[in-house]
């Protein structure tokens, strides 16, 4: 059992307390931290517009825990004690005449105070200003903002500026929950706690990098948000670019939050901007139509949206990016993500260069250049694909074999959800796994020309049947370069 590091007693106010994120992710994460003894005496104060009593909120929270916490981990007595630490304040946070006194009654001035804004990003500025005007922001307060911050560079800058009038950068925690995933944190360990890879992490040895984040789910009732967002804003601008940064960054001088973030920022700034005429050749956008997932029929995007109108929102993106540094010169990064794909996989493939010359007879093998496959989810692990000799007599035959680490097998324990780590880091004031404002801006600055070029073109996203790996153009995008998307890690 790992040692549980205590955190200060805190009050966590969650705006958007009746929403999907709170019920599906935040409350289960807090329950686990409570169960592990990290929150004795800490309180969670739900805040939302619905008129609910503390008991109503606890009943909703219990239903959410029963649905989203693994049945083996549902301990009735622990749940009862956890629920007793939940409170509720009814508030329309942006109404000028809202009564904020409910917070004064429950908040303790001496504690760390976390304001978690699980709301639409256009409310971040107004809520922060209201908190400040009502005197609720103490020196020990922090604010947590969910992604996406804005919908383009200007709106992101406006939100960042509004929040900064109330909270300093050190008090502001911009969540990209991918950074809290165990295997994503493991990328730092892989690269900087081992000597062997760093020596090979270079254009001399690496041919290209692939990052795939595929999902089987469709809209999950989030159509209102998603149709205004699309896969580029929802996934690429944040999650996929953050993964790219962790792969491409130079070694930071320490694990200090700003030293790590300085290096990620350099990568974002080194991404080659796409000119308007390059976007069509370097990106593919798609939208799912009806199809089947796991053998079960599923509707197309427009039916999921409940819309008769055509929508030009993309549910799939594939693109080819270039990091213009000495280390990565001429090493393309292929990124793809989409909804309603055949399986849920998040995976990074570091593809090494082919042999310069083979001493083996041509018929001895079907050559596979070495690759390092980092599986973020599910079946978290890493596999280094190497050519080895098949055992036995009868001629020299070679085939690819994997050096494999499956984390579950190796460590044999539950992997905490990303939100557990990130919530506790917020209380600790450790921002290493959060996005700094300039990273958010640099990511938008790179993504924006793509959005603009798409908006300027009359063509719609390419259709792909649910259950397929996206439009065929996504396959052509990589095959044009003589490469292929990696197939499942066995
Ligand atoms: C969220 C996106 O940030 O990440 C969702 O808004 C997506 O659209 C989700 O489904 C994927 O996260 P995870 O942790 O399930 O891989």
290 assigned to some structural domain: yes
Q: Report the C-alpha gap between 132 and 168 in whole angstroms.
A: 13
- Phi first, then psi: what are they for 362, rounded to 5°? -50, -40
Report pLDDT digits (tens) over 237-285. 999 999 999 999 999 999 999 999 999 999 999 999 999 999 999 999 9
First to last CA, the chain: 29
Report pLDDT digits (tens) over 356-402. 888 888 888 778 899 999 999 888 899 999 999 988 887 888 988 99
DSSP 350-373: EEEPPPS---S-GGG------EEE
Contact 474, 336 (CB under 8 A): yes
Tokens of 246: 């962790």
In short, whether 227's Cβ falls inside 6 Å of ligand 1 is: no
> In the chain, what is the greatest distance between 2 CA atoms, to the nearest angstrom?
85
* For helices 153-164 and 437-456, angle between their N-to-C axes, nearest 10 degrees: 150
**Residue 102 parent element (H or E):** helix 101-106
Report pLDDT digits (tens) over 436-454. 999 999 999 999 999 999 9
Number of domains in the chain: 2
Q: Report the C-alpha gap between 96 and 350 in whole angstroms.
A: 53
In short, whether 215's Cβ falls inside 6 Å of ligand 1 is: yes
Q: Report the CATH number that the domain containing residue 358 is assigned in CATH.
A: 3.30.360.10
Q: Report the C-alpha gap between 178 and 3 in whole angstroms.
A: 23
Q: Which of 87, 151, 177, 239 is catalytic?
A: 239
**Residue 34 parent element (H or E):** helix 27-35
Contact 437, 162 (CB under 8 A): no
Q: Please tell me the residue having the least CA distance from ligand 1 atom 8.
A: 234
Q: Are residues 192 and 110 in the same domain?
A: no
Could you tell me where the DSSP H helices lie in 147-250? Answer: 153-164, 182-192, 195-200, 223-231, 241-248
β-bridge mates for residue 88, sequence order: 46
Which of 235, 243, 345, 443 has most ligand 1 atoms within 8 Å of its beta carbon, as the pocket-test mutant? Answer: 235
Which of 175, 177, 241 has most ligand 1 atoms within 8 Å of its beta carbon, as the pocket-test mutant? Answer: 177
Q: Are residues 127 and 205 in the same domain?
A: no
445 assigned to some structural domain: no
pLDDT in the model for residue 489: 47
248 assigned to some structural domain: yes
Q: Which residues of 458-471 are buried (b: 16+ CB within 10 A; e: fewer)?
A: eeebbebebbbbbb
* Residue 344 alpha carbon, nearest atom of ligand 1: 16
387 assigned to some structural domain: yes
Report pLDDT digits (tens) over 375-386. 998 888 999 999
DSSP state for residue 249 in the 8-state scheme: P
Side-chain-side CA neighbours of 171 within 13 Å: the count stands at: 18
Q: Are residues 374 and 259 in the same domain?
A: yes
Number of H helices, E strands in the chain: 18, 17
Residue with tokens 């557990």: 420
pLDDT in the model for residue 361: 84
Q: Report the CATH number that the domain containing residue 69 is assigned in CATH.
A: 3.40.50.720
159 assigned to some structural domain: no
Cα(213) to centroid of ligand 1, in Å?
A: 9
Q: Are residues 249 and 397 in the same domain?
A: yes
* Residue 176 alpha carbon, nearest atom of ligand 1: 3
174 assigned to some structural domain: no
443 assigned to some structural domain: no
In sequence order, which residues have a C-beta less than 8 Å from that of residue 174 and are 6 or more positions away?
144, 145, 147, 149, 434, 435, 436, 437, 440
3-state secondary structure at position 137? coil
Beta strand 296-298 with 291-293 is antiparallel
Cα(167) to centroid of ligand 1, in Å?
A: 27
Q: Please tell me the residue having the least CA distance from ligand 1 atom 4.
A: 235
Q: How confident is the model at residue 78 (pLDDT cuts 50, 70, 90)?
A: very high
In short, whether 234's Cβ falls inside 6 Å of ligand 1 is: yes
Q: Which of 37, 24, 27, 4 is nearest to 68 (CA)?
A: 24
State how far Cα 102 lies from the chain centre.
34
Report pLDDT digits (tens) over 125-170. 999 999 999 999 999 999 999 999 999 999 999 999 999 999 999 9
Is 202 among the residues known to form the active site? Answer: no
Q: Are residues 32 and 136 in the same domain?
A: yes
Q: Are residues 141 and 188 in the same domain?
A: no
Cα(226) to centroid of ligand 1, in Å?
A: 11
Domain limits at 56?
A: 10-146
Which of 174, 234, 418 has most ligand 1 atoms within 8 Å of its beta carbon, as the pocket-test mutant? Answer: 234
Q: Please tell me the residue having the least CA distance from ligand 1 atom 2.
A: 234
Q: Are residues 210 and 327 in the same domain?
A: yes
Q: Are residues 132 and 204 in the same domain?
A: no
State how far Cα 208 lies from the chain centre.
22
Report pLDDT digits (tens) over 195-226. 999 989 999 999 999 999 999 999 988 898 99
Tokens of 330: 């001429």
């Amino acid at each position: 059992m790992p040692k549980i590091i205590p955190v200060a007693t805190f009050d966590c106010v969650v705006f958007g307390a009746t929403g999907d994120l709170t019920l599906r992710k935040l409350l289960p994460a807090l329950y686990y931290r409570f169960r592990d003894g990290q929150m004795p005496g800490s309180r969670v104060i739900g805040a939302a517009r619905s008129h609910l009593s503390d008991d109503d909120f606890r009943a909703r929270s219990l239903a959410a825990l029963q649905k989203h916490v693994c049945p083996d981990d549902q301990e009735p007595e622990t749940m009862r004690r956890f629920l007793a630490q939940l409170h509720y304040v009814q508030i329309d946070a942006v109404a000028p005449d809202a009564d904020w006194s409910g917070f004064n009654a429950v908040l303790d001035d001496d504690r760390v105070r976390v304001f978690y804004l699980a709301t639409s990003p256009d409310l971040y500025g107004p809520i922060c200003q209201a908190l400040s005007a009502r005197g609720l922001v103490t020196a020990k307060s922090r604010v947590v903002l969910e992604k996406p911050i804005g919908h383009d560079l200007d709106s992101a800058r406006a939100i960042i500026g509004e929040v900064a009038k109330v909270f300093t950068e050190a008090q502001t925690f911009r969540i990209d929950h991918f950074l809290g995933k165990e295997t994503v944190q493991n990328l730092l360990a892989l690269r900087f706690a081992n000597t062997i890879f760093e020596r090979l992490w270079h254009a001399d040895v690496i041919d290209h990098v692939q990052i795939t984040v595929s999902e089987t789910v469709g809209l999950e009732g989030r159509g209102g948000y998603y149709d205004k967002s699309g896969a580029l804003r929802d996934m690429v601008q944040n999650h996929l670019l953050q993964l790219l940064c962790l792969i491409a960054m130079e070694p930071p001088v320490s694990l200090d939050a700003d030293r790590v973030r300085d290096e990620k920022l350099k990568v974002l700034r080194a991404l080659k901007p796409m000119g308007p005429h390059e976007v069509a050749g370097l990106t593919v956008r798609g939208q799912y139509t009806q199809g089947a997932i796991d053998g079960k029929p599923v509707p197309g995007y427009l039916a999921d949206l409940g819309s008769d109108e055509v929508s030009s929102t993309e549910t799939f993106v594939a693109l080819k990016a270039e990091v213009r540094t000495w280390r990565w010169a001429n090493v393309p990064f292929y990124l793809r993500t989409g909804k309603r794909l055949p399986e849920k996989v998040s995976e990074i493939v570091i593809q090494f260069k082919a042999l310069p010359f083979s001493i083996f007879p041509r018929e001895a093998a079907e050559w596979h250049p070495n690759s390092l496959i980092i599986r973020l989810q599910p079946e978290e692990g890493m596999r280094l694909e190497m050519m080895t000799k098949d055992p036995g007599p009868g001629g020299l035959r070679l085939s690819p074999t994997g050096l494999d680490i499956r984390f579950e097998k190796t460590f044999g324990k539950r992997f905490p959800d990303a939100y557990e780590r990130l919530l506790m880091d917020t209380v600790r004031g450790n921002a290493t796994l959060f996005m700094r404002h300039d990273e958010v801006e640099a990511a938008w600055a790179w993504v924006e020309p793509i959005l603009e070029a798409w908006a300027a073109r009359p063509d719609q996203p390419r259709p792909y049947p649910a259950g397929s790996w996206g439009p065929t153009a996504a396959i052509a995008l990589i095959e044009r370069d003589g490469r292929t998307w990696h197939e499942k890690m066995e």
